[in-house]
Each structure stands twice: as C-alpha cells, then as structure tokens.
C-alpha cells in the first residue's frame, strides 16, 4: 500500500517517518486487507498534526482578545440595563425604554459576534 492510499483510506495525513518506519512494515507483516489495516491503526498515535504558523497564532490571539472584549461589553450592558430597570421601573419615558432596547440588542449582537469568532477558531 502506498502512503497516499493509506491517507486516503484513513482520512488524515501521517508523517513520512511514521509511514515508512512503522506503518508500512506493520502492513507488510500482516495479512490484513488495506481497509482492515487502516481501521486497526490508532488515529491518535499517527495523525500528523498541522503546525500553526506565527500569523495563524497571532490571528487566534487577536480573535480571543476580541471575544474577551465583547464579553466585557455584554457584562457592561447588562449592568446598564439592571441599573435603569431598577431605578426607572415605573417610568413611562419612551426614550429610556428605547435605550434599554438598544442595550439588549447590543447584547444579542455581541453574542452573535462571539459565536462567529469561536466558529473561526475551530
């Protein structure tokens, strides 16, 4: 079996060293068919992890910082809402009610941004 065949059947990449020094000799020593052999191999042990570039690491750091900033904004808006609702619960002031609505909409927006950024990190 070729390395490319192994990777295609397995659905992941392996290092040249692992394939030629371990996997190929193991395969040749068995009488298993290709698919059975691939199924028997431990993915955790042989899957080649992709190394992240410095640019990728920097981008991840900036995304995590942005998530932290958005989470702080959510907390700040929650405190604003709590304050206004507590002290002005009886008011009929439309502008105050609109302000509360805008804070609540911002929270929703920030949560959606956080979800999107976390998805990017995956």
Task: State the pLDDT at residue 34.
Answer: 92
pLDDT digits (tens, 9 = 90+) for 69-111: 999 999 999 999 998 888 777 767 778 888 889 999 999 999 9
Task: State the pLDDT at residue 50.
Answer: 65
Task: State the pLDDT at residue 55.
Answer: 86
The band of 54, judged by pLDDT with boundaries at 50, 70 and 90, is: confident
Task: State the pLDDT at residue 118.
Answer: 93
pLDDT digits (tens, 9 = 90+) for 24-52: 999 999 999 999 999 988 888 887 766 77
Please write down the HEC assignment for all residues of the chain. CCHHHHHHHHCCCCCHHHHHHHHHHHHHHCCCCHHHHHHHCCHHHHCCCCCCCHHHHHHHHHHHHHHHHHHHHHHHHHHHHHHHHHHCCCCCCHHHHHHHHHHHHHHHHHHHHHHHHHHHHC
Specify the pTM.
0.55
């Amino acid at each position: 079996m070729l390395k490319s065949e192994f990777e295609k059947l397995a659905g992941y990449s392996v290092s040249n060293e692992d394939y030629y020094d371990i996997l190929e000799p193991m395969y040749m020593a068995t009488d298993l068919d290709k698919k059975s052999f691939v199924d028997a191999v431990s993915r955790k042990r042989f899957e080649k992890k992709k190394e992240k570039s410095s640019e990728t690491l920097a981008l991840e750091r900036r995304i995590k910082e942005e998530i932290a900033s958005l989470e702080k904004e959510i907390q700040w808006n929650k405190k604003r809402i709590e304050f206004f609702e507590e002290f002005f619960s009886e008011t009929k002031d439309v502008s105050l009610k609109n302000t509360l609505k805008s804070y609540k909409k911002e929270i929703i927006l920030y949560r959606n941004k956080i979800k999107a950024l976390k998805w990017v990190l995956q």
